Structure 1
Amino acid sequence: MATPPLPAGIRPARRLTLTDDVYESVKALIMEHALAPGDRISIDGLARSLQVSPTPVREALARLESDGLVRKRAMSGYTTTALLTRAEFEELFELRLLLEPAAARRAATHAGPEARRRLTGQAAATVPDPRHESHRHHVTALDARFHDLVAEVSGSTLLRESITRLHAHLHLHRRYFPATDPGVTVAEHGRIAAAVAAGDPDAAARAMRRHLVSAQARHLPAFAGDRTG
């Protein structure tokens, strides 16, 4: 059946609904720590800040609760999720080590030429001057984008959704991680991308595993005082 043209005066629907817009805005506030970990969330206050009614804020918070980025408690409302404990961090990396090498393996098998070029380009993305105030945020964004792209070009929707959710929890914690040499991460990403580009699934999985093990070791000093989780 042919799709009729829209009558004069009627515009195409926006890609994002109001709730989607509010969801992305509140998620950004959490990820950037404008809403700090463990903070109580005021629905009315967010509605005023975002210039919307409380309804889309409540709907957005329900989605963020499903993502694990906010928590709802009876009689006290929503709070942002607290920072990871050492035990939670290690559990997160256990899951990443199950999922992300599998995603890299699939990417080496399923990604087409354009996807492989995108991945190679993302792996080679440069980082800004470390003296610049946005350096750490930029490095974090590049790292997350690379891993999300590997999941995307793997061709598995379930893998991509699972990995993206895990990264949200890690990103929430990143501001408190010790500074590391971004050149190490770039080199590790390069090895993963090269294996995917070569169509070598075993090498891609190995490179991803080595990168994750190395990244976990680099970040563990953030939990020096947390022995029990």
Structure 2
Amino acid sequence: MASLQQTPTALSLQSNLLSPSLRLPKNPFILKLSAPRRNFTGVKMSATVAGSYAAALADVAKSNNTLDSTSADIEKIEKFFADKSVYDFFANPTIDPEKKRQVIDEISKSSALQPHTANFLNILIDAKRVDAIKDIVKEFEKVYNSLTDTESAVVSSVVQLESEHLAQIAKQVQKLTGAKNVRIKTVIEPSLVAGFTIRYGNAGSKLIDMSVKKQLEEIAAELDLGDIQLAV
């Protein structure tokens, strides 16, 4: 069973935590929590614990040429922990860790997670860091995007857009950012009335708003309706 050894200054993730076929060639790598500027494969490590774990997982994946597959695993984990009851179960310190490991085993089999991804989740259980999983997911995406020159974009719409429309949006974001790759995430947002929005850039700082909601707000502003809400 995977375990995490903790000292006052560092957390060591030993190579023998991985399955035999996925072990690192030589030395274990170390998560220096006291050194936020430590780099993993050229990527600046976040000062947060979540960033440290995410960078370490990305480093293992890159070393084993499974970065894309690991990213797919992380997407599955994100959806799984989006369920509040699931998150609360794993974050609850009173629940026996062995029960949590059993659930992780079931998840790993049903979702076909890679061995090192499953072991990583067990490490979080042993270290009592499962409560940081959502932040780890976000930080891993940042590391992955940096390593692969990928831009993430969130497309919100009232109904699910067709794949060809999403492909066109991806091409447009690629032109705007110059990124080699673009990953699209979709969100259903009924309040938009119709149309869609696109958020991209650092922490979603850039917005393209093609929604009817925005058009109605602009009309209201032009008519100086103030706080009057339009019924649609």
Q: TM-score range by the shorter chain?
A: under 0.3
More helix by share: 1
Judging by fraction of residues, say which structure has more strand. 2
TM-score, normalising length from structure 2? Answer: 0.25
Name which structure has the greater RCO, CA cutoff 8 Å, separation 6+.
1
Normalising by structure 1, we get a TM-score of 0.25
Larger Rg, first or second structure (1 or 2): 2
